[in-house]
Amino acid sequence: MSQMNRRRALQLLAALGTTGLAAGCGSGTDTAEEAEPGSPIKIGLIVPGSGPNKVIGDEITNGFQLFLALNDGQLGGHPVTVVPAEEGDTAKTGQAAVEQLLKEGVLALTGVVSSVVMSGIRDAVEQARVPLIGSNASPISLQSVVYIWRTSYVLNEPGEALGQYLRQTLDASSTIAIFGTQGQSSRDVIDGLRNGYEQGGRRLTGEPIFTPDYPNPGKNAYSGPITKALGRRPDAVFCHYSGTQAVQFIKQLYAEGYRGPIYAPGFLTEGTVLSQLDDGEKGEERALIQKYGIETALNYSADLNNTANRVFASAYRKAHNASPTTFAMASYDAAQVLDKAIRLVGGNPTPQQVNLALGKIGQIDSPRGAWQFNQPRTPQQKWYLRKVQLDGRLLSNVVISELATLG
């Protein structure tokens, strides 16, 4: 384990305030004091260090490092050095990151926020025969892979889960205004919505509105498209935004006079979005959210009541003074599946041996609930309906029910 990562692990454990919790999070095998650790290994972490996706990259880093901190800095009994590489936002920058990490002799790769980057590095990873445990980007088009596994989701799944729910919830005559950013990610999400909704004679009317993928949208960036959509008097809005884009879209939607429910993949309200929308007890935005509702579909919520999540969420809050997001959870699980696979190999693992072992690890006891890899190497998992509600004095994502098991 590098000095930087060792210091980070010690800081996290100090924040947790107990070594007992770290022992309780292990895999049930001998601790470092009871057995000699295996040979040191390197894991490559591909994340953006700047730009609009940096906040997700930070969550991914935090989740992976938290698992290491709770497991004596080891995966499968081997001391770990995490080697970071800049993801960037293009296929070319992603390929450069992979090349850099392969030269470092990493046993496996993880991370990757952007779907463009994930698609761009596909061939390089497959040709190198080094497993990549992707913890965020997951385009539909990424198929027939052998060395790429994903602990997040496939991008059509949150739309499909919500589509099924809306088909059962909305009247058949309802109209839905659909928004998303330009690019494949929003198209994948909306394809999922259609697949889930358009059954039994139901049809989504009107074309989706795709807005530019603004890094930092201004206060009127979405006003024109919103005005156009509201002219059709929709009964509901479905949208695919995250981060700063989500904040501005919701603010401008209300400012243009929309008074109805909002439905979206859970990225809309993850991270700091709700704190930026929460304008206090007398604020108009808070009142509108409470009155008309924002409901989202996601594979995780920090308030899920299971043992794995109680340990994970508590440790994350103590380490970072914030609730964990699905991005941190998926990266924590990426470390967990690598831990299991490397332990199955034992001895001096090779990338090819780890890749074979990943197909044998079975069910994962995860903060999201139990899941397992399916044949396409993505999670078969539950999706949850979450509603923005007051939790104490703050707006929070509260799980209302299970929506579907997909994958």
CB crowding 94-123: b at 16 or more within 10 Å, else e: bbbbbebbbeeebbbbbbbbbbbbbbbbbe
Average pLDDT, the chain: 91
**What pLDDT is attached to residue 2?**
44
Specify whether the backbone of 2 is left (phi greater than 0), alpha (psi in -120 to 50) or beta. beta
- Going 245 to 247 to 250 to 255, the CA torsion angle's sign is negative
In sequence order, the 6+-apart residues with CB closer than 8 A to the CB of 275 are 394, 395
Band (pLDDT 50/70/90 cuts) for residue 36 is low
Q: Which H or E run includes 240?
A: strand 236-240
| Count of CB atoms situated within 10 Å of the CB of 198 | 13
Whole-model pTM? 0.87
What is residue 282's predicted lDDT score, i.e. its pLDDT? 82
Question: Of 246, 259, 249, whose CA–CA distance to 292 is shortest?
Answer: 259
Residue 321 confidence (pLDDT) = 94
Tens digit of pLDDT for each residue in 66-106? 999 999 999 999 999 999 999 999 999 999 999 999 999 99
| Residue-by-residue DSSP string for 102-144 | HHTT-SEEEE---HHHHHHHHHHHHHHT--EEESS---TT--S
Give the DSSP letter of residue 208. Answer: P
User: Span 276-297, mean pLDDT?
Assistant: 93
- Structure tokens belonging to residue 29: 């095998």
Residue 407 has pLDDT above 50, yes or no: yes
pLDDT tens-digit map of 345-369: 988 999 999 999 999 999 999 999 9
Q: Is the pLDDT of residue 6 over 80?
A: no
For residue 392, name the pLDDT band (cuts at 50, 70, 90). Answer: confident
Q: What is the mean pLDDT of residues 298-307?
A: 95
Task: Quote the CA–CA distance of 37 and 33 in Å, as a whole number.
Answer: 9
Task: Give the pLDDT mean for 294-311.
Answer: 96
Residue range 128-150: mean pLDDT, rounded: 96
Does the structure show a pLDDT above 90 at 12?
no
Predicted confidence band at 28 (pLDDT cuts at 50, 70, 90)? very low
Name residue 263's amino acid: Y
Beta strands at 262-265 and 176-181: parallel, antiparallel or unpaired: unpaired
Percentage with pLDDT > 90 across the chain: 84
pLDDT at 281: 82
pLDDT in tens, 149-197: 999 999 999 999 999 999 999 999 999 999 999 989 999 999 999 999 9
